[in-house]
Amino acid sequence: MKQYHFTQTLTNTEVAMKQLKRFFRTVFTLIFSFSLIFALTGCNENASVNGPEAVNVAQQPVDGVTGVSLNKGRGGGGSSQLQYPLVGSKIFSLKRNGTYGSGSITLDNGISFSLGTDALTPPSDIPFGDDVNITVTCERPNTGRNELTIEFGPHGCQFSPRAMVVLDWADLGIDVANLYYINDNGDYVLQNPDQIDIQNKRMYLYLDHFSRYALAAD
C-alpha cells in the first residue's frame, strides 16, 4: 500500500508541473504578443508623424533599369557648391545575344539618364556592334540668367523603348522651373515635360532620341 501511495503522489506532481509550465508558456506568449503589437503600433505612428510625405508621381518604367539614384549631391537654395560643367558617361556594349545592354548615368545635381535593355540603336556613323559612349553634360552658362543647360551625346542615337531622363532643378534655388528645347539656331522653345514632381523639384522626359534642353526660371 505504501508503494502504491508513493507512485500516485509522484504522478500528481508531474501533472502539476506540466500545468505550471503550460501556464508560464501561455503568459510568456501573451506578453510577447502585446509587446510586438505595441512596437509595431509605435513605429507606424512615428512614421505617419515624422516620416516624409509621399509623392504620387507616375513614372514610366524603363525595362532593365533599376536602382537609379536621383538624389546624389542635390543642391538648392541658390547656394550650390557644385562645380560646373558636370559630365557623366557610360559605355554601352553589345551583348552576346546581339543587343545593347541597359545602364544609367547620374550627375551630382540629380540629373540622370536611364536606358533599358535592347533599346539602343547607335548613330549612323557608329557601326552596329561597336561600343557606344553615351555622355550627359550639364552646364550653368554665364548669361545672367538663372538656368541649367543639358546636352546628351552622341547625336543620332535612337531609343526604343524610350530612354528616361530626370531633370532636377533644385540647384537653381527656385520653386518651379520651365523646360526649354534648344534648337540648332540656339532658340529656346518652351516645352512640357512628360511628368513633373514640383515638391521634389524634378521632371521626367521619355526620349526616343537626344536633344538639347534648358531649365530656367522664365
pLDDT of residue 174: 95
Q: What's the predicted TM-score (pTM) here?
A: 0.66
Rg (CA), the chain: 31
Same domain, 100 and 10: no
Same domain, 48 and 92: no
Same domain, 47 and 107: no
pLDDT in tens, 163-199: 999 999 999 999 999 999 999 999 999 999 999 999 9
The DSSP result for 111-133, as a single string, is: -EEEE-TT-EE--TTS-BTB-EE
Tell me the CATH number at 100. Answer: 2.60.220.30
Confirm if 13 and 20 have CB atoms less than 8 A apart.
no
Domain span at residue 126?
A: 86-216
Same domain, 120 and 197: yes
Please state the domain count of the chain. Answer: 2
Is 74 within a domain? no
Is 197 within a domain? yes
